[in-house]
Amino acid sequence: MRDITKLPFDKVTVSPSILAADFGCLGADIKRVTEAGADLLHLDVMDGHFVPNLTMGPPLIKSIRQASELVFDTHLMISDPLTYSPIFIDAGADHITFHIEADSDPQAVIDEIKKHGATAGISVKPNTPAETIFPYLDQLAMVLVMTVEPGFGGQSFMLDMMPKVTAIREEIKRRGLQVHLQVDGGIAADTVEIAAKAGANMMVAGTSVFRNPGGAEKAITQLHEASKYL
């Protein structure tokens, strides 16, 4: 299984969100961003209940797993991650990020993810304090701070989430942990510097990569260049 913990912690890595891809030629779009320098691939799973949108399920992930060797960074925006995490892992997910606000017990979800051989991450919505994930921090490969309200791509970056990013980064450093800190929502050439300076080292970017007028390679290169701000 591909391992998110093998990706660098001291450089900005880019996880293009396929929510912004053309699903009519998804394999070609994945190949395009891979060749452009993507470090991993972000899969937004929404259930229409936890967030007001429906996206993809295990069959799609199983299908694209055959077409990509990138780490599948799978973000479960669903109410019941405890039940569904093993199903997504079986379909090809290497890493599962679930929401602290979901209905399942966080410790039980972490245990279930690890039992099935994947790495675990926790995400927090904009209104959720950073401290809610601290009890689980030493068991996580990644923390994801949403910089938009989850549910739809193409939203504007929420600058007021940066203190939360910094608070989590400081706690990671204080404990001497190796945990990726990811941000998702409105990440592009004009916001990546802000996110990196706040402490994020992993950037989810959908529209700004897949639909960049200058092409995916230019977009990903611009995001990678923010490594100098870490």
Mind telling me the catalytic residues? 44, 184
In the numeric block, the tokens 């992930």 are attached to 61
Q: How do 119-124 and 95-99 pair as beta strands?
A: parallel
Cβ atoms 128, 181 nearer than 8 A:
no
User: CA-CA distance, 99 to 134, in Å (whole number)?
Assistant: 14
Token digits of residue 66? 């055959």
Buried b (16+ CB within 10 A) or exposed e, 168-181: bbebbeeeeeebbb
